[in-house]
Chain A
């Protein structure tokens, strides 16, 4: 299952820091002299083998953080270390080697896949781009990957438009795993999926993590999904980290008003609980106003 030229000296220790970000700052110029503080002193540590959940409302800076961690965003200041290497100071070649170890899966699988390519071509693309293996070994690896994400060999020749959203997301996951990465960023990867398909993909992601020892950065606006997936949770608002802690700490005893507000807004699929929740939320808002 390991990529041909990956030769780890020793099995990396689970729980050791894999991604460490310190004091990330980023300002975007909006024109008319206006500025947006997209990242405001963001520090976080993602440990090997864990799922790190990043939650916040749209515009809170979640995706900006992920781009910074992957070295895709020039920062104003701050440092990002991936497995000890300073990402912000890497040369092109070093960065290219590092990229193999970090991958992404996005929200909209249709937009993220090339419509003209077959599933086999899509999944093989990263192998070709990094010159891994020959034709035959690549084909074998594609078959292995499709099997891993629960797509039978019959899907090899399909194209994205012949598949459902859930199947396309499985292809995107297979492609992300092609180079045997350590770290996978899942940016709202299940947000566009139907309930039954979302459940299938979440189960698959947990299963893959266990089998392959992956580390996830799981970005979502949905706190209930974050709770199910992540061991460490970080809440963002306006480019800042509002609260950060273990799942039990955060869900058991949220310290910040903002986190409590987010939690209070999650609907429950039970009419009595949900009516009660909405009534008390409306009351609380009335009192606060």
Chain B
């Protein structure tokens, strides 16, 4: 795998007046990388994506979003329009609201294709059919003539992915792409994204609240809470030995087929904080079972601990304890 960085987000802040739902987010994405951004509603994950796309309405953006070396936050709106859907594209949760119900799928795909390079109408039609075929829509030559309502949820999401891929973007952001879909359809969409990364080297940022979906797809996972990334590392160590107490709690609360039926599900008490009403100190401390005095007084910083990034006062201690555990276990 090459190590070429295609997207470099540096200290991104998104604010609406006094309220700052995204507070200094930094991460990089390499060509062909599968990056997960997980967190609960209100953690700032979708807003981070919208800010990268410059689609966060009425928001003030600070920091840098370097896409292949160009700072998107410095571009004029017209320049950004060419990049959006060109070098960076996005797929949303609800494909129905992203498609226009009164135009055929073919027409909408052609419009996207012509915006990003191919001017000739019949060439654009040909390309549209090719794209639909590539994302696994059966009978593409017939399907281009149909309207969005004639497509199932899974097929619509395939169309959205085809549209996002039409200019062969360097970065594809997928915001809960399978949340509205059935599990079997979800599995097929994730397979499709996998194939696109393998074949084209597209870097994918997958935003999801579903830890299972992230586990199967991502090389690296970052966890967001209260507008900050609180832990980032490769998928296996993150799921295996979560160092941030929030990551640990989130994994504990996930319902899967191994859950003990006789016990209550381990939960995190309370609610995620609202932007603008963040507690003093560490934003997770009111819900954290390990919280100490320092956690209420002082906000921790995202620091490297045991080869990963963690934003927790207790990270060193927890890393040492985890290491001891594995030694004892071995």
Most B-side CB within 10 Å, residue of A167, A194, A206, A266: A194
Tell whether B259 is near chain A: CB-to-CB under 8 Å: yes
B258 contact set on A, CB distance < 8 A: 268
B265 A270 Cβ-Cβ under 8 A: no
Measured in the bound complex, the distance between the Cα atoms of B265 and A228 in whole Å is 9
Nearest chain B CB to A221 CB, angstrom units: 6
B186 A265 Cβ-Cβ under 8 A: yes
Measured in the bound complex, the distance between the Cα atoms of B221 and A274 in whole Å is 14
Binds B, one of A1-9, A10-18, A134-142, A275-283: A275-283
Most B-side CB within 10 Å, residue of A228, A269, A273: A269
A278 B191 Cβ-Cβ under 8 A: yes
B255 A225 Cβ-Cβ under 8 A: yes
Most B-side CB within 10 Å, residue of A199, A200, A273, A277: A199
Tell whether B122 is near chain A: CB-to-CB under 8 Å: no
Measured in the bound complex, the distance between the Cα atoms of B269 and A199 in whole Å is 10
A268 B187 Cβ-Cβ under 8 A: no
A199 B255 Cβ-Cβ under 8 A: yes
Tell whether A224 is near chain B: CB-to-CB under 8 Å: yes
A221 B182 Cβ-Cβ under 8 A: yes
Query: Which residue of chain A has the shortest Cβ distance to B267 in the bound complex?
Result: A199
B216 A275 Cβ-Cβ under 8 A: yes
B255 A268 Cβ-Cβ under 8 A: no
Contact of A198 with B249 at beta-carbon distance under 8 Å, contacts A58-B182, A203-B264, A274-B216 already known: no
Nearest chain A CB to B182 CB, angstrom units: 4
A267 contact set on B, CB distance < 8 A: 183, 186-187, 210, 212-213, 215-216, 256
B257 A196 Cβ-Cβ under 8 A: no
Tell whether B320 is near chain A: CB-to-CB under 8 Å: no
B212 A266 Cβ-Cβ under 8 A: yes
Tell whether A125 is near chain B: CB-to-CB under 8 Å: no
B268 A271 Cβ-Cβ under 8 A: no
B255 A198 Cβ-Cβ under 8 A: yes
Tell whether A147 is near chain B: CB-to-CB under 8 Å: no
Contact of A271 with B216 at beta-carbon distance under 8 Å, contacts A165-B41, A228-B261 already known: yes
Contact of A269 with B41 at beta-carbon distance under 8 Å, contacts A195-B253, A199-B253, A282-B191 already known: no
A206 contact set on B, CB distance < 8 A: 264
Measured in the bound complex, the distance between the Cα atoms of B253 and A222 in whole Å is 15
Contact of A202 with B265 at beta-carbon distance under 8 Å, contacts A221-B182, A265-B183 already known: yes
Nearest chain B CB to A30 CB, angstrom units: 13
- Give residues 227-258 of B contacting A (CB, 8 Å): 235-236, 239, 249-251, 253-258
Tell whether B40 is near chain A: CB-to-CB under 8 Å: yes
Contacting residue for A196 out of B183, B184, B186, B250, CB 8 A: B250
B268 contact set on A, CB distance < 8 A: 196, 199
Query: Which residue of chain B has the shortest Cβ distance to A195 in the bound complex?
Result: B253
B186 A195 Cβ-Cβ under 8 A: no
Measured in the bound complex, the distance between the Cα atoms of B210 and A52 in whole Å is 25
Tell whether B211 is near chain A: CB-to-CB under 8 Å: yes
Most B-side CB within 10 Å, residue of A225, A227, A263: A227
B257 A166 Cβ-Cβ under 8 A: no
A224 B41 Cβ-Cβ under 8 A: no
Contacting residue for A195 out of B182, B218, B235, B254, CB 8 A: B254
Query: Which residue of chain A has the shortest Cβ distance to B186 in the bound complex?
Result: A265
Tell whether A155 is near chain B: CB-to-CB under 8 Å: no
Tell whether A261 is near chain B: CB-to-CB under 8 Å: yes
A281 B255 Cβ-Cβ under 8 A: no
Binary A-proximity of B104-118 (CB < 8 A = 1, otherwise 0): 000000000000000
Contact of A198 with B256 at beta-carbon distance under 8 Å, contacts A57-B184, A274-B212 already known: no
Query: Which residue of chain A has the shortest Cβ distance to B261 in the bound complex?
Result: A228
B257 A199 Cβ-Cβ under 8 A: no
Nearest chain B CB to A89 CB, angstrom units: 36
Tell whether A251 is near chain B: CB-to-CB under 8 Å: yes
A223 contact set on B, CB distance < 8 A: 183, 257
B255 contact set on A, CB distance < 8 A: 198-199, 202, 222, 224-225, 228
B253 A196 Cβ-Cβ under 8 A: yes
Nearest chain A CB to B239 CB, angstrom units: 5
A195 B184 Cβ-Cβ under 8 A: no
A268 contact set on B, CB distance < 8 A: 212, 215-216, 256-258
Query: Which residue of chain A has the shortest Cβ distance to B187 in the bound complex?
Result: A265
A269 B239 Cβ-Cβ under 8 A: yes
Most A-side CB within 10 Å, residue of B41, B190, B213, B267: B267
Tell whether A164 is near chain B: CB-to-CB under 8 Å: yes
B253 contact set on A, CB distance < 8 A: 195-196, 198-199
A164 contact set on B, CB distance < 8 A: 271
Contacting residue for A269 out of B182, B254, B271, CB 8 A: B254
Extra contacts, 13 of them, besides A198-B253, A202-B255, A268-B258 (Cβ < 8 A), are: A58-B182, A195-B253, A196-B249, A203-B264, A227-B257, A261-B184, A265-B183, A266-B256, A268-B215, A269-B211, A271-B216, A274-B212, A277-B216
Binding site for B on A (CB under 8 A): 57-58, 164-167, 194-200, 202-203, 206-207, 221-225, 227-228, 247, 251, 261-263, 265-275, 277-278, 281-282
Q: List 20 A-B contacts (CB under 8 A).
A: A57-B183, A57-B184, A194-B272, A195-B209, A195-B211, A196-B250, A199-B253, A199-B255, A207-B264, A227-B257, A265-B183, A269-B211, A271-B215, A271-B218, A272-B236, A273-B215, A274-B212, A278-B190, A278-B191, A282-B191
Which 5 A-B pairs rank lowest in CB-CB distance, beginning with the nearest? A267-B212, A274-B216, A194-B40, A199-B253, A57-B182
